[in-house]
């Protein structure tokens, strides 16, 4: 899951108590995280590949990629994603795992709205 040197992990503050967190809830919470270069959210771009939920939602790992290996906003985006999931109720551990497989392809991974914004038809 994590690739050495590519994952950011930090303990999160204690939440209000255990709750049932779903992948859909995490993705909804991440929608406001926007790539500042493209001006489209990381969820709509298809950069979030999945969410691993452990310990009844107390431990979350978001698997995500970037638009390119040299994305200048990569560290900032990963930090923002981590802050969002850290703030979800009951989460005590929040991790972001940067992955490169499969390679990001906006033609197949981005939402229809994102494709319109990017001019992909």
> Residue 78 CB: number of other CB atoms within 10 A?
22
- Give the chain's residues under pLDDT 50: 1-18
Q: What is the pLDDT of residue 19?
A: 56
- Beta-bridged to residue 11, according to DSSP, are 93
- Fold adopted by 7-118: GMP Synthetase; Chain A, domain 3 (3.30.300)
Mean pLDDT of the chain: 87
Residue 42: its pLDDT value, please? Answer: 98
User: Of 4, 5, 7, 2, nearest to 78 (Cα)?
Assistant: 7
């Amino acid at each position: 899951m994590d690739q050495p040197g590519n994952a950011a992990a930090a303990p999160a503050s204690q939440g209000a108590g255990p709750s049932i967190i779903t992948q859909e809830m995490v993705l909804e919470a991440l929608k406001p995280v926007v790539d500042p270069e493209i001006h489209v959210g990381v969820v709509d771009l298809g950069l979030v590949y999945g969410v691993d939920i452990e310990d009844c939602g107390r431990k979350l790992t978001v698997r995500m990629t970037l638009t390119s290996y040299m994305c200048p906003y990569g560290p900032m985006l990963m930090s923002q994603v981590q802050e969002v999931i850290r703030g979800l109720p009951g989460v005590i551990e929040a991790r972001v795992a940067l992955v490169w497989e499969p390679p990001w392809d906006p033609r197949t991974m981005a939402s229809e709205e994102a494709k319109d914004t990017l001019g992909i038809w």
